[in-house]
Amino acid sequence: MLLIQKLEYYDHLTPNEQTVAHYLLDNQHRIQDISISEIAKETYTSLSTTVRLSQKCGYQGWKELKKALIEEISYLNKETMHVDANYPFQQGDSIFKIAKNMSSLLTESILDTYQLLDHDHFQKAILLLNSCQIINVYGITHPISVAYDFKLKMRTIGKTVNIVEDEDSYYYQSYYTDQNTCSLFISYSGETVELLDAMKRIKQKGCPLIALTSIGDNTFSKLADTWLPISTKEKLSNKISTFSSNISIHYLLDLIFACVFEHDYQRNIEMKKEISKELDHERFSNVSLLKDEDRKE
């Protein structure tokens, strides 16, 4: 969940903490210059009120909360999306208007995901995946549907990927997970309740754990050994579909496959050639562009 969303949800806050949260939301544009003393003065609260609010949001104190809030606001205000990720088209739009907007949205979502990449986090994810023969991908609904293409790609280089997508599987796969299995959890919110028990069980075992989730403070990114951020431009529910997040997840999984492939590049190239000889020998095309240069007709 984004930090801004935490400040917007008042149920867990005292009246004074709500007042401070409201003040921070109203003054996002100048958050860089706000001090804890100013907050106390302007909201008629104590310094400790802001500290308690920070701690309820998952931070040690005001300085940590402020830093996280500045980074989040900077990301959300960055002009990477020229199309609304939640409603990329409207009633009455022509076919080509919809086509243009969807093309822009998907392109911008991939670019946004690329710009969010952290080298150290991603490198750690690749190291964990290369150290394991089995990869279990956990998720529900839309995110998990994207993982099937990842499974097929990884199969071509001898990596076993299991798609874990129902309640019984969450339990059994996490129960039998060992050090030779890397678990990859996909959740846009980073708070998918159905997956939390499985994730905590794997964490307690000390087995490799990777999360793909939105930016901001969430449980999945905290539990994982490393996490990769999904483009975070969609609302949780108020949207037509998961266009942006799905293409972001697909891009990240393709990037993971590419980097795992590159780790043993020559071996994987030779393996794919051998497999193609056996599986694709009957495939042909009269279109020159599609013909393999090294294949004799």
Q: Is residue 296's pLDDT more than 50?
A: no
253 neighbors 147 (Cβ within 8 angstroms): yes
pLDDT at 260: 96
**Nearest by Cα to 197 from 268, 138, 275:** 138
- Give the three-state DSSP class for 17: helix
pLDDT at 297: 43
Domains of the chain: 3-77 (1.10.10.10), 109-271 (3.40.50.10490)
pLDDT level of residue 143 (50, 70, 90 thresholds): confident
Average pLDDT of the chain to the nearest whole number: 89
Distance separating alpha carbons of residues 278 and 297, to the nearest angstrom: 15
Task: Provide CB contacts within 8 A for 204, sequence distance 6+.
Answer: none
Calculate mean pLDDT across residues 173-179.
95
In tens, the pLDDT along 19-61 reads 999 999 999 889 989 999 999 999 999 999 999 999 988 888 9
Calculate mean pLDDT across residues 174-180.
95
In tens, the pLDDT along 55-113 reads 988 888 999 999 888 888 877 776 556 899 999 999 999 999 999 999 999 999 999 99
